[in-house]
Structure 1
Amino acid sequence: MKFDPALQPATLLRRYKRFLADIQLPDGTERTIHCANTGAMTGCATPGDTVWYSTSDNAKRKYPNSWELTETHSGHMICVNTAQANRLVVEAIEAGVIEELQGYPTLRTEVPYGEEKSRIDILLQSPSKEDCYIEVKSATLLGEGSQGYFPDTVTTRGQKHLRELATLAQQGKRAVLLFAVLHSGIEKVSPAKHIDEVYNQLLIEAELLGVEVLCYQASLSSAQMSIKNRVPFSQY
């Protein structure tokens, strides 16, 4: 995924009201931009960090600029636009990067499914295989060393998705939870049971029922992003 037009840098002043952030441009001008991330963004939104933002050509948008990446003082790159995770995973599947998800000629996104009226992020289909349901989550919470976690806040939506995936697995269908690691400092992922114990327990139960867990790290820069390699997942 290449950024076109190119992302522009600014300094983060503050994030507020969940969807907004104030930045300072290199010329000293202040501007309000949109933030497409409803999470806590722990470690991803420190005032003084560099924000890389995109610009939309949609004249109807109140805030034409969107916060895409954070470059921290320690040099880490983080994709904070959670909508990009699904796009990156789709690209990686189609490019053959995610070996575990190959052999499906049909790929669909945002397909309604489940008893709780959800939409699966990616549905892979093949005449010779059982359908493969993939829920994508963006992992950006860095702990000690290179240890990453998900979620960064209590997520009732994420809990629902785990219940849906577990039900699919019980029905004999292929269900996959895929963590897209969008923080350059994260080299392994675990559930954040210190933040959301319910999510942690549901994930344990889902794995026991046959839900597959995959973690793939992304290469991140202000010019482009792509999924590159698998990293370990473990109950921490």
Structure 2
Amino acid sequence: MRYKNIKKGKFISRPNRFIAQVEIDEKNETVHVKNTGRCKEILIDGCDVWLTAPGSPGRKTKYDLVTARKTNGLIINIDSQAPNKAMLEWLNRQGCDRIIPEYTYGNSRIDFYIENGNEKILMEVKGCTLENDGIGYFPDAPTERGIKHIQELIKAKDDGYKAVLAFVIQMNGIKEVRPNKETHPEFETAWKEALKAGVEIIFCTCKVWENGFEITGQEKSNDKDTFRMSW
């Protein structure tokens, strides 16, 4: 998954969760931030950021902020729409029989419905951008929506589907994601309930560049109840 164009800048500030002030070509520019999470460990005054200019008509901002360099040197893609795009690319490379994005299941939408042989799979995708000491954490802010998605996967498992919660790690070298219980303890509880119910949790490792990234493989947690995908 690569962006068509990319521009380097210096992060200045983030007045709210939707916009940031960035220095581009020695000018202060208001840009759209493609992630409504906190990203406070990443977007620090003076850090390098990379932006893309989609060129969509009627936009209030010219640029989207999509990538940043953390103070420890780690380049992180923070585009919240990118994990699903990268996952679709990755699934297409696996030779699955059928892939339907944004699949209607009951009264909800699940990121992917997949058929692989006799297996019918429902997959929800989460992007991980929070890192500490070489470990990824999710979420970086409380997410009732994330808990709802886990509950949907548990129901899908009860209905006979293979249910998968996939974390796309939007940075290099990180192979594990843990629930961020300090930020949202209820999410950790839902995570454990999903494992007990037989929902598979996988961590998708990635190769990240300033202008995009791709999923390169998958890892399992040290938790013995977390499984690798079978395809």
TM-score (normalizing by structure 1): 0.89
User: Which of 111, 130, 133 does residue 121 from structure 1 map onto?
Assistant: 111
Q: What runs of 5+ residues in structure 2 fail to find an aligned partner?
A: 224-231
- How big is each residue's C-alpha offset from its partner over 1:44-86, in whole Å with a ceiling of 9 and x where there is no partner? 2111111100001212111121011001232211011110010
Distance in 1 (alpha carbons) for counterparts of 2:220 and 2:118: 26
Check whether the contact 2:175–2:204 (CA below 8 A) recurs between aligned residues. no
Residue 99 of structure 1 is matched in structure 2 by none
User: Which of 122, 126, 129 does residue 133 from structure 1 map onto?
Assistant: 122
Equivalent runs, 1:17-32 vs 2, <5 Å: 17-25=16-24, 27-32=25-30
Segment drifting more, 132-141 vs 104-113: 104-113
- How big is each residue's C-alpha offset from its partner over 1:120-169, in whole Å with a ceiling of 9 and x where there is no partner? 1111125x4242111000111112x2111111111000010010001111
3-state SS, counterpart of residue 193 of structure 2: helix
Residue 8 of structure 2 is matched in structure 1 by 9
Distance in 2 (alpha carbons) for counterparts of 1:233 and 1:64: 40
Residue 170 of structure 1 is matched in structure 2 by 158
TM-score (normalizing by structure 2): 0.91
Equivalent runs, 1:1-236 vs 2, <5 Å: 1-5=1-5, 7-25=6-24, 27-96=25-94, 104-114=96-106, 117-126=107-116, 128-143=117-132, 145-184=133-172, 186-234=174-222
> Counterpart amino acid of 1:22?
Q
Distance in 2 (alpha carbons) for counterparts of 1:16 and 1:210: 42
3-state SS, counterpart of residue 68 of structure 1: strand
Distance in 2 (alpha carbons) for counterparts of 1:191 and 1:93: 25
Distance in 2 (alpha carbons) for counterparts of 1:212 and 1:184: 23
3-state SS, counterpart of residue 176 of structure 1: strand
CA RMSD for the aligned pairs? 1.6
Check whether the contact 2:42–2:71 (CA below 8 A) recurs between aligned residues. no
Distance in 2 (alpha carbons) for counterparts of 1:93 and 1:67: 26
Distance in 1 (alpha carbons) for counterparts of 2:101 and 2:37: 22
> Counterpart amino acid of 1:148?
G
- How big is each residue's C-alpha offset from its partner over 1:200-219, in whole Å with a ceiling of 9 and x where there is no partner? 11111111111000101111
3-state SS, counterpart of residue 89 of structure 2: helix
Pairwise CA distance, 1:185: 5.2
Pairwise CA distance, 1:234: 4.6
Distance in 2 (alpha carbons) for counterparts of 1:73 and 1:149: 17
Check whether the contact 1:44–1:80 (CA below 8 A) recurs between aligned residues. no
Pairwise CA distance, 1:16: 2.4
